[in-house]
Structure 1
Amino acid sequence: LDLTPDGHADKPRCLSNLGNAFERLGELGDIKNALSVKRQAVDLTPDGHADKPGLLNNLGNAFQSRFEHLHDPEDISEAIAAYQRATKNTSGPPLTRYNAARRWAILCLKHQSVSSALNSYNVVLEIIPQIVWLGQTIHHRYEQLPRIGRTINAAAATAISAGDLPRAVEWLEEGRSIVWKQILQLHTPLDELRQKHPDLANELSMVSLALGNAGTSDFHDIGLETKQKSAEDEAQNHRKSAVRYEELLAQVRELDGFGSFLRPKKFSELVSAASNGPVVLVNVAELCCDALVLCTSGEIVPVPLPTFSYKQAKVLDLKLLSLRAQLDRNRNGDRASRPAVKDHSFISVLVNLWSYVVKPILSEIEAALYENADSSLPHITWCATGALAFLPLHAAGIYGSEDPTKDVNISDFAVSSYTTTLSALLGSGSNSKQDPTVFHSVLIVSQPATPGPYLGLPGTVKEAEVIQRYASPAHTCHLTHELATVEAVSGEMSKYDIIHLACHGIQDIEKPLNSAFALYDGRLQLNRLMTLSLKNTKLAFLSACQTATGDENLPEEAVHLAAGMLAIGYPSVIATMWSIKDNDAPLIADKVYANLL
């Protein structure tokens, strides 16, 4: 350090690294030394330099460390100020600024006020789209998604605490949509811009990449002249990139159809998602758990869930995973008959969901639930987050009581369904009421004996017969055995309102887009389904195993075959959350199609 002049571009980093070393020692004197050298690092770095947000982040961390020793509120104020300055330095890498904004929000929530935390989370949500959409590799984005999901849950919980319910809905929708589009590699906002304005999209991508990589160049490979460039020269280049980025963003938002580019959808755009009945968003955050019920009237009804927690959701999820492991000893995707496992874990999961989540919500929204319902049971759509996204809210209840009159479950009060996002419901409302005189066309795909390492599924023969009993022969196509090839099925899907897949389903947790239906000549994978254009389809009935099972590391958007079918154009999907017995499938099909056709 003594040999490096103050104007050298590397000196602030060296000082900050020395400060980190002092801080790790943990003693109060060492933390004071850390603060001293980290302040020098910040002071030697010009505003607008890409390194400055990171240096300010480190300084904020040191103030937090001193607070843990002295409990002086002034240290929290200093830490918040450092994180705030780091966030506002738009020349820095978005991920660095995001981390600073997140720390700023956490400190505000813990030591200041909910309103100040809300303002900081607003900045967090503004930065997140830059991390996930612009200038990052798919692998890097994927790595960030679990943390971003938890941050958005925390932001929504803060908005709920502040009474800003529309903002909470907007943020939850943004978070779910981001992860969902990333995992399934759907069209991103940048892709949509590139289709109509390619030059603008390409320049925005390049500038974003430059900002994302700012301050990370490998000086060993770029020559002496660049290495000796002053910090002020670097800062000027970074500032130019930041200014150009803001100019391009403003330019894009002036274009027709791009006013909300890289911004959450407004609540006014989402409210019609509840046109067919209440939609219940359940936010599972470490701070608290709440439900937000979007009613057909446009009102948002908040329902606190004080007896439910993030930890409890994880425990219930683990219980269910354990039970599924017992029930699914055979290959992934097997739907063959197997003996039942005598275990009370499943019933206890359903009882807990009823007592701590579903019952409190139903009690609060009883009037709204029956607002537009006719003589039949009302419809409720669940949009859960966190570990709750894996749990069977539709079956919550009390079962097997000694006194049968005490048994109760959600099906006594409403018909349940799920959605990945509110946006997924926006286009489906107009198709909900069907003309009874119009025949539904049905494509049945069955595989009683799939070639390869799969057990036989003799029940699919009866299942197909059940459907044909209700469907019009003139409007039905049945592909089975050697007729049910990957090419034939994918080619016929667009011609029918309904597709019924009675076969093995395979969930690939590591590579979700490789999840597939096992057909006669191979696997019909989700990545192939994503290339199809289906405009007039109505329903996909996935009578296969594990078609609604997702990646437990990314529960925000349970990535599964069912959600993939929603994404390719089916407004409604029936799927299994765990393995189904082969002899049960025809019974379920009989009940569904007796009412549907």
Structure 2
Amino acid sequence: MLLAKVYLSFHHSVLDDTGAGEDNDSLNAAMHHLKAAANVVSGGPLSRLRASLHWVTDAHQHSHATELEAYATSMQLLDAYMSTTASVSSRHNIMKDFPSTLVVEAASCAIRSGDVYHAVELLEQGRTIIWTQMTRLRTPLDSLQNRSDHTAALMKKFRNLSSLLDKPPANYPEAAPRVYVEAEETRYRCLVKDWNRTVEEIWKIESLSCFLLPPLFSDLQDAARDGPIIVLIASKSSCHAIIIPYNQPPTSIQLPTNFGKLVRLVLTLQGAIKKDASPKKNQTALIKALRELWHDVVRPVVENLGGFTRRGSQIWWCPTSLFSFLPLHAAGEYRANGESLSQQYISSYTPSLTALTRARRSHDRSLSVSFAAIGQNRPAGASFTLGGVEPELDMVLSLLPPPPTVFSTKVTSVDATKSRALCALRDNTWLHFACHGAQKFPEPFKSAFLMRDHPLSLLDITQMDLSQHQFAFISACETAVGDPTTPDEVIHLAAGLQFAGVKSVVGTLWKVNDSTMQRLVEAFYKNLCGDSTMNPKRAARALHRAVQSLACDKDMPLDQRIVFMHIGV
């Protein structure tokens, strides 16, 4: 690192009589030493990561040829450093210590280099790292079955170590002696080393050399099997959309907006949502923002979608950075005979391509469905009662097909405790939550559904295996809103359910009133199971039709008509 600083000083000076900025030999030497610093294994993952970030900064500042390599190295080292950290809260704090735009700047760099494939790979490697760390410890090793005794032993060792790593570390009180905390940290680091050595042994097995490594574009593209995915990249360098179709090359589109304009658009939308509608329900500020969203972001994408999918079909948005806080599905002109996205396509979202691929892997073809309606109208410590909870749950249950198609249960009122809700969540593959949702931005894993005694937190959900679960409707406020400080980690209740294994999830972007929720839920379930069948792949279309039916009601404020979003298959 010191050598790199010296060479950069030479580059910025006239000591070698070539003039500032003309000494490429010194600049190349500086980049060489920054790269070397990032690859000194004995330096430890944190020092190496910091060195790689210096490399990124200097390579970008000088438009050096190693810039993309520097970004790729930083992605790998950030992932490695995160894997040495025991708790999800610690991982989240780590993410806040590093540039929040690192991954999108890396993807933007790849696009400028003309490599759209690598841009997608970098995004997938550098986003949702916390979720990736969790799912990595639960990776099924079915592909290792029925092989040699050595392979079977490796499989058992990997599962045992993954299980130990997946358990939360011992939670010592603040007053506990430092020696206990250090012992726990040492134990965890030893487990990580054993886990890494086991993975390296697995890599030596024929056909498993790519086990757990970041997926290639050819693997990621499989996520678009049922419809194109649009990845939106908001970096300070440029803003792009990448359309990823199935079995066709991706298409990159430079959007007619920039980072500063997007910041202002997000703030404008958030302010417009908080304002009450005028007596005529106009919500002028919101309409103006949605028009800008249409013209600057969504319409350029729609104009290029015709070659990949027909009108009326389902598309998936995978937003990054600032795009994560925009209601893309609601973009439109909002004037007589004006265009809008909802007229042309059915919008779904996915936090990552890997999450969508994983959700597509298995589909429950059983003849019967186990459905739990979980509600809490008066959570612990609340001075209010949610009057719409009981009627909503009763209505949902009345709209479901009768046994043997659906076997349903209701957990509500005094019975809806944290433990009972967890049991219902574990034992039923279809879920409907009707309760108060609490979004905790400083500590997003403490975001929770509020139950009668204790909150059912996002952290509680992440520690469950919901890989057989098909669908969840979250009838609560702000359940699909991420943390602004780490937008690309996508940490909220709706995403948490999907990463835990639920195939299809409906959530909300902001506060929703009881009357809107009641009417939307009724229209949704009538569309979803009106023919007495249950299929999670129909959730997006059912939500789309339900929202369209609400749009006909001119007395309903616009912000309430666009509050719902669908995530997953």
TM-score relative to the length of structure 1: 0.71
The aligned residue for residue 114 of structure 2 is 163
User: Match for residue 559 of structure 2?
Assistant: none
1:323/1:248 CA distance change after superposition, 3 Å:
same
Distance in 2 (CA, whole Å) between partners of 1:188 and 1:56 is 39
CA distance in 1 between counterparts of 2:428 and 2:198 reads 44
Q: Which residue, out of 367, 372, 376, partners 1:443?
A: 372
Provide runs of 4+ in structure 1 moved above 6 Å: 135-140, 189-195, 198-202, 244-249, 337-342, 432-435
Q: Which residue of 1 aligns with 2:356?
A: 425
1:397 maps to which of 332, 337, 348: 332
Q: Which residue type is aligned with residue 568 of structure 1? A: A
1:487-527 Cα distance to aligned partner (Å, 9 max, x none):
22221223333211111011112222221111223321222
Are 2:343 and 1:412 aligned?
A: yes
Greater C-alpha Rg = 1
Matches within 5 A, 1:117-516: 117-134=67-84, 141-146=91-96, 147=98, 149-181=100-132, 187-188=136-137, 196-197=156-157, 251=201, 253-255=203-205, 259-260=209-210, 263-305=213-255, 307-325=256-274, 343-370=283-310, 377-399=312-334, 401=335, 404-406=336-338, 408-429=339-360, 438=367, 440-450=369-379, 452-474=381-403, 475-516=407-448
SS in 2 for 1:429: helix
User: Which position in structure 1 is the counterpart of 2:477?
Assistant: 545
SS of alignment partner, residue 420 of structure 1 = coil
RMSD over aligned Cα atoms = 3.7
Distance change in 2, residues 1:421/1:194 (3 Å): farther
Q: Cα gap change, 1:270/1:456 in structure 2, threshold over 3 Å: closer, same or farther? A: same
Q: Which amino acid aligns with 1:459?
A: G
Code of the aligned partner of 2:432? H
Q: Is the 8 A contact 2:462 2:500 kept in 1?
A: yes
Residues 547 and 575, structure 1, Cα contact 8 Å, conserved in 2: yes
CA distance in 2, matches of 1:78, 1:57: 7
Q: 1:592 to 1:91 in 2, by over 3 A?
A: same
Give the 3 Å change call, closer, same or farther, for CA 339–471 of structure 1 in structure 2: farther
Specify the code of the residue in structure 2 equivalent to 1:365.
L
Aligned-partner residue type, residue 418 of structure 1: Y
> Does the CA contact (< 8 Å) of 1:338 and 1:581 recur in 2?
no
Deviation at 1:325, TM superposition (A): 5.0
Q: CA deviation at 1:98?
A: 3.2
**CA displacement at 1:139 relative to structure 2:** 6.5
Distance 1:164 1:524, change over 3 A: same
CA apart distance, 1:93: 3.4
By how many angstroms is 1:199 displaced? 12
CA gap 1:462/1:176 in 2 versus in 1, 3 angstroms: same
Going from structure 1 to structure 2, the CA distance change for 1:63 and 1:144 (only over 3 Å counts) comes to farther
Q: What is the aligned-residue identity percentage?
A: 26
Q: Give 1:135 deviation, angstroms.
A: 6.3
CA distance in 1, matches of 2:262, 2:368: 43
- Residues 338 and 496 of structure 1, relative CA distance in 2, 3 Å threshold: farther
Change (3 A) 1:340 1:424: farther
Pick closer, same or farther for the CA change 1:451–1:154 going to 2, 3 Å. Answer: closer
Per the TM alignment, residue 65 of structure 1 is displaced from its structure 2 partner at its CA by: 5.3
Contact 2:376 2:416 in 1 (8 A): yes
Measure the CA separation in 2 of the matches of 1:569 and 1:349: 34
Whether 2:507 is the aligned partner of 1:575: answer: yes
- Deviation of 1:89 after TM superposition, in Å, equals 3.5
Deviation by residue 1:237-262 (Cα, 9 ceiling, x = unmatched): xxxxxxx9999885453257863367
Q: Which shows bigger deviation, 79-88 or 531-540?
A: 79-88
Conservation of the 8 A alpha-carbon contact between 1:441 and 1:472: no
Cα distance in 1 for partners of 2:117, 2:4 equals 31
Distance change >3 Å, CA 190–CA 422, structure 1 → 2: closer
Cα distance in structure 2, aligned partners of 1:102 and 1:405: 50
Deviation at 1:281, TM superposition (A): 1.0
Distance 2:195 2:392 in 1: 57
Equivalent-residue separation in structure 1 for 2:138 and 2:109 (angstroms): 27
Q: 1:142 and 1:589 mapped to 2: Cα distance?
A: 34
Which letter maps to 1:56? L
Distance 1:89-1:537 versus aligned 2 partners, 3 A rule: closer
Three-state SS of the structure 1 residue aligned to 2:223 is helix
| CA 537–78 in structure 1, closer or farther in 2 if over 3 Å, else same | closer
Alpha-carbon distance in structure 2 between the residues aligned to 1:118 and 1:366:
32
- Give 1:423's aligned amino acid: T
AA aligned to 1:266 is L
State the shift of 1:108 in Å. Answer: 4.1
**Contact 1:442 1:496 survives alignment (8 Å):** yes
Range 485-494 or range 136-145, more displaced: 136-145
User: Secondary structure in 1 aligned to 2:209?
Assistant: coil
The alpha-carbon distance between structure 1 residues 194 and 313, as it changes in their structure 2 partners (threshold 3 A), is: farther
- Local SS of the residue matching 1:541: strand
> In structure 2, the residue corresponding to 1:368 is in which secondary structure?
coil
CA distance in 1, matches of 2:447, 2:504: 19
TM norm structure 2: 0.74
Distance 2:86 2:379 in 1: 41
- What is the CA-CA distance between 1:378 and the residue it aligns to? 0.7
The answer on 1:594 being equivalent to 2:526 is yes
Report deviation, 1:382: 0.9
Structure 1 range deviating more: 552-561 or 422-431: 422-431
Q: CA deviation at 1:448?
A: 3.5
